C-alpha cells in the first residue's frame, strides 16, 4: 500500500493535529496536520495525509452567478424553461493551490525528518492548475507503478480514476525534478511585455527624501 502498511495490519489514525513549537533564533513550526497515520509499534514512522478540497469561488450576485441564482438557472434549464447553459461560480483552485504550496514543503520536510512521508489527495482540476501555472514537471513525477517517495500526490476525478505523482522534496542526484518546483513560474514574460504594460498605465511620482542629519 502507498502508506507502507500491509493488509491486516493495525494502524492508528489521528485527525486535525495542531503542532506548534518554537525553534532556535525565533523560528517556529506552526501547522495543522489533517491526518496522521501510524502503525501500532512505537518505532513506526508517521505518515501525514493532507486532503486539499476545492470549493466554489465567490459568485457575482449582480451578474446572477452566485449559488442561489446558479441553482435557479440550473433548475429552469433542466425543465427547458430557459435557453443556454446555466452560469455558476467557478472553483477556487488558485486559493487552494496557494494554501497547498505554503504547506507542502514544510510538512513534507517534517515527515521526512520523522522517518515518514506525506500523501496529498487532490482533485484533477487542482493538478491541472499546478501543471500549467507552476514550474512543477508534474507529468515527469507520475508513478504508474505507484511507488511512493518523499512527497506523494494522489489525483482523482469524478469518474473515480486515480493517479499517483511522487518524488523528492529537493533535487536528488542526476534527477533534478522535485516538488520544490511548485514554487517556480512556468513562464517568465519578456521585459518588453512589462514595459508595454507600464507605458499604458499612469504612474505616481515620488521624490526620494534626503537623509536626516545623523542617519
Spell out the residues 6+ positions from residue 163 whose beta carbon is closer than 8 angstroms to its own.
127, 142, 154, 155
Same domain, 135 and 105: yes
Of all residues in the chain, the percent with pLDDT exceeding 90 is 66
Same domain, 125 and 170: yes
Same domain, 164 and 121: yes
Same domain, 71 and 132: no
Tens of pLDDT, residues 77-101: 778 776 766 666 667 888 889 889 9
pLDDT at position 191: 97
Q: Does the residue 47 lie in any domain?
A: yes
Q: What is the pTM of this model?
A: 0.81
Same domain, 48 and 154: yes
Pairing mode of beta strands 117-123, 47-52: parallel
Output helix, strand, coil percentages for the chain, rounded to the nearest 5.
30, 25, 45
Same domain, 85 and 150: no
Same domain, 163 and 69: no
| Domain, as residue range, for 165 | 11-55+91-199
**Cβ proximity of 142 and 163 under 8 Å:** yes
pLDDT surpasses 80 at 207: yes
Report how far apart, in Å, the C-alpha atoms of 123 and of each of 75, 114, 145, 148, 177 are.
Answer: 26, 27, 20, 19, 22
pLDDT surpasses 70 at 64: no
Tens of pLDDT, residues 140-165: 999 999 999 999 999 998 787 899 99
Residue 16 three-state SS: strand
Q: Compute the distance between CA of residue 37 and CA of residue 45 in angstroms, rounded to an integer.
A: 9
Amino acid at each position: 500500500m502507498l502508506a507502507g502498511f500491509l493488509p491486516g495490519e493495525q494502524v492508528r489514525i489521528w485527525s486535525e493535529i495542531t503542532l506548534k513549537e518554537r525553534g532556535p533564533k525565533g523560528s517556529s513550526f506552526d501547522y495543522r496536520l489533517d491526518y496522521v497515520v501510524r502503525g501500532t509499534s512505537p518505532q513506526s514512522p508517521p505518515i501525514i495525509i493532507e486532503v486539499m478540497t476545492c470549493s466554489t469561488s465567490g459568485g457575482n450576485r449582480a451578474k446572477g452567478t452566485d449559488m442561489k441564482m446558479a441553482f435557479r438557472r440550473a433548475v429552469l434549464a433542466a425543465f427547458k424553461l430557459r435557453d443556454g447553459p446555466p452560469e455558476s461560480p467557478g472553483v477556487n483552485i488558485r486559493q487552494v493551490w496557494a494554501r497547498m504550496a505554503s504547506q507542502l514543503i514544510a510538512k513534507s520536510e517534517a515527515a521526512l525528518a520523522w522517518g515518514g512521508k506525506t500523501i496529498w489527495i487532490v482533485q484533477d482540476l487542482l493538478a491541472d492548475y499546478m501543471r500549467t501555472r507552476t514550474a512543477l514537471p508534474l507529468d515527469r513525477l507520475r508513478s504508474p507503478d505507484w511507488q511512493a517517495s518523499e512527497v506523494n500526490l494522489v489525483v482523482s476525478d469524478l469518474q473515480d480514476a486515480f493517479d499517483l505523482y511522487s518524488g523528492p522534496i529537493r533535487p536528488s542526484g542526476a534527477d533534478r525534478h522535485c516538488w520544490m518546483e511548485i514554487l517556480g513560474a512556468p513562464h517568465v514574460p519578456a521585459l518588453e511585455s512589462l514595459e508595454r504594460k507600464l507605458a499604458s498605465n499612469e504612474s505616481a511620482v515620488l521624490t526620494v527624501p534626503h537623509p536626516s542629519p545623523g542617519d
